[in-house]
Amino acid sequence: MYYSTNIPSANAIPRFSNLNATDFKSNWADKPFILTEPVRQWPSFRKWSIDTLLEKYGDTVFRAEAVDWPLQIYTKYMSNNEDESPLYLFDCSFVEKMDLKVRSDGDYWPPECFGEDLFDVLGEQRPDRRWLILGGAGSGSSYHKDPNATRRVFPADRYGHMWTNNLASAWNAVLRGSKYWIMFPSGPSHPAPPGVYVSEDQSEVTSPLSIAEWLLNFHAEARKSPGCMEGICNEGEVLHVPSGWWHLVVNLSPSIAITQNFVPETHLANALGFLRDKPEQVSGFGNDVKDPYSLFTAKLRETHPALLERGLAELERLQLGKKRKWDELVGMNGAEGAKLSKDFCFGFGDNDDDAEVP
């Protein structure tokens, strides 16, 4: 695992024992970090292993990318396959299938520092938000940009995509094993990571490489790229993935993890903008939800009216700032203006939105 060693100190993802909600909101909502204490309080951390899960859920069917297998079949595959891009168990219905309690006196609960998930106002109509993840050494999520409101694995993810989530932030907690992460900010002033290709309308972001191929051909270059952050999330630790950050993840050993999306207060304007302006890129909602933006704003108006008004005002400020920048670009002459306008986009969810607003 050469790629996970000798991480430059400038690239190292910060590590803390814990954070409080105020510190997260004020200083860390837009930055990756690893916490070493919260997960160790979970009963699931103390009790879960591949063997204990097999004893209780061996016949339970879980989703492994494009297939649905009983856990006992998947674990046999996980232990014996020699695939270059192994199938990854990634199931969004595990809480119901395993009859888990997600609360402070239950099987696990979100780390408190992340605060309220604003999508909770949607109740049963909210999009998929949490997944159980199992995988053997060498499996993982390769470079992909999922412009969706939620993070879901599709069969194509086996063939070289790098993840970023433009609407929701996420946390990823490792209960067994360890994971190597390499991450990059996204936005108008940040190019895509080496080996990653973005369509003109920003809706498709792919890399025609497996994880192993990307690591072999681009890892050294990526490690030297501006904004690169790397780290190992060990057993009993949880990593924060801010919305808009590219990330590639590789299991260094057989692992069990839980990941969950959330919309923090600090990212409300980005979430509103994405739902309103890119509805064709939103999925994860049930068929009964035809207009996620209207549903979300209506629920927020009922429960958090002042917060909604602040979010809409911030969204308007962001959009006006980007419009001014666009007007400046189209007013330029020659190759410089053409190049800058090609590099500029009106996407929301980028981490340097504020930096781009005059």
- Summarised one tens digit per residue, pLDDT across range 199-227 is 766 667 677 568 888 999 999 999 999 99
Identify the pLDDT of residue 157. 39
Beta bridge mates, 10: none
Band of pLDDT at residue 346, cut at 50, 70 and 90: very low
Average pLDDT over residues 36-63: 98
Alpha carbon distance 275, 348 (integer Å): 9
Cα-based distances in Å from 227 to 48, 59, 193, 329: 35, 44, 10, 25
Q: What is the dihedral of CA 245, 263, 151, 205, to 10 degrees?
A: -40
Write the pLDDT tens digit of every residue in 287-313. Answer: 999 999 999 999 999 999 999 999 999
Q: How confident is the prediction for the chain on average, in pLDDT? A: 85
Q: Indicate the pTM of the whole model.
A: 0.85
* Cβ–Cβ < 8 Å for 160, 208: yes
* Cα–Cα distance measured from residue 268 to residue 245, given in angstroms and rounded to the nearest whole number: 16
Average pLDDT of the segment spanning 111-140: 94
CB 65 within 8 A of CB 141: no
Separation between Cα atoms, residue 310 and residue 325, nearest integer Å: 23
